[in-house]
Amino acid sequence: MDRQCITTDPNLATAPDYTAPEWAAARNDLIGENPGTDQAGAVAALSAFWRVNITEQKRLWAEQRAVVLQEEQDRAAEQQQAMDKEADDREHIRESAEEEERKKYKNKFLEIPDRPLTAESVVQVIAESARATLRKEDLVELYFFTPLGMQAALSNPSRALDGSNIVQDEDGNLILSSKANTRAAKGLIEDDDLTMEQFCLATTVFVKQAALAGWPEPRINMFSNFWVALQTHSWCWHTDPLRQHALIKYQAMHRRQWHVAMLTPEQGYLLVLINETLLGQIYDKLFCEDRHLAELARNTQSYRRSTRTPPARLKDTLSREPGTFPSASTGSVPTAAQPPAMGSDTGALAAEIPPMELCAALERRSSKALTPYIADNWEKALRRAGILSFYAASTSGCREYFKRRTDLVDLVPLIN
């Protein structure tokens, strides 16, 4: 049941004057109920009743005030709690947005180290495509960790405006990635073609970058021990370059094979010990390839030397003067046909005819027989230009056909 609400503070109330005329009826009623009571006793009794009543009112007022204060405190606490929760929500949203931005723009929030740049400082930075592949623990060519690869990464930093792709990072977030990073690097040197110096320098940088990419320590130690075993092998300092190349080929082949084996169930293995038998097989293959290339080079050089000297049966043909060659169609020697008048300066004639037209004319003339008139004209022009040595006569004994030497790359001024 709700208690009666007291609207005024009883502590501020003052006792009424019960001797006043307005209290006469109350005094008379009290005297009537108590015959032995006079006016003074009635006034005293009324005053006593007022004091008892005001005391009870004060008590109720105090309780009411306590309840009101408690309710106000509870409401204030609820309001404060709601405000605190709202502030916490705003802070959580802000922190989430900041964390998302840190993930999206990691380079923006990198801590600046407190050290100056010195002459010995070397910036070791790899391409973003290689860094992303390294974070996935996939196969990355060692070229990206060589000084040449790192210099290419420094000279061509990634930009999002040169065309972009939407890819997924390691956290599952969709990010904007440069197309240049997703394409193969220009000038990429495969692991098989690295020099021993490039290989030694690249492995040191690779180990550091793998640790920064979050690789497990056992995997880093395995690759480090594998590369140390190769770099301390006796063939590493051998005077035979093929033995060093065999070590490079062994590293490239078995590192690729290890990545494939680890993705195959129950096919993984420890990549540390060097299999000398497989290394010897790689060396034998390289040795055979080197011998084959050397033999091919010798044969090619011998063939070129043999084509520079015309056969003996063509000496008579080469010694003929212009105008004495038989016609390809009739076999008779021309007598009336004469070459057109031509100045002594063949360079001026060549300047009038574009080089590409001259080259095209030469190709046309080399594919069909010439008329006596044109044959004489060509013979005289070739002799005057001093370029007969650049062409070998055909085995037919006639100068109607000329074969261009394979080692001649410059255009030669000719006339039609």
Residue 314 is assigned to a structural domain of this protein = no
Residue 107 is assigned to a structural domain of this protein = no
pLDDT at 312 (0 to 100): 53
Judge whether 412 and 390 are in contact, CB under 8 Å.
yes
pLDDT at 398 (0 to 100): 40
Q: Which residues contact 366 (CB under 8 A, 6 or more apart)?
A: 401, 402, 403, 404
Among 275, 308, 341, give the residue marking a domain's end.
308
Domain count for the chain: 4
Residue 65 is assigned to a structural domain of this protein = yes
pLDDT at 171 (0 to 100): 55
226 & 277 share domain: yes
Q: What is the pTM of this model?
A: 0.46
pLDDT at 39 (0 to 100): 84
Residue 118 is assigned to a structural domain of this protein = no
Q: Which residues contact 262 (CB under 8 A, 6 or more apart)?
A: 268
Tens-place pLDDT, residues 169-214: 555 554 544 444 444 456 788 888 999 999 999 999 999 999 988 8
Helices (H), 105-166: 128-135, 147-155
Q: Which residues contact 235 (CB under 8 A, 6 or more apart)?
A: 243, 244, 246, 247, 279
Q: Which segments in the chain show pLDDT lower than 70?
A: 1-3, 119-123, 157-186, 303-416
Residue 23's domain comprises 10-99
242 & 230 share domain: yes
Residue 413 is assigned to a structural domain of this protein = no
394 & 331 share domain: yes
174 & 226 share domain: no
Residue 37 is assigned to a structural domain of this protein = yes
329 & 373 share domain: yes
Residue 1 is assigned to a structural domain of this protein = no
Residue 59 is assigned to a structural domain of this protein = yes
178 & 225 share domain: no
Among 265, 285, 308, give the residue marking a domain's end.
308
222 & 206 share domain: no
Task: Report how far residue 245's alpha carbon sits from residue 251's, in angstroms, rounded to the nearest whole number.
Answer: 10
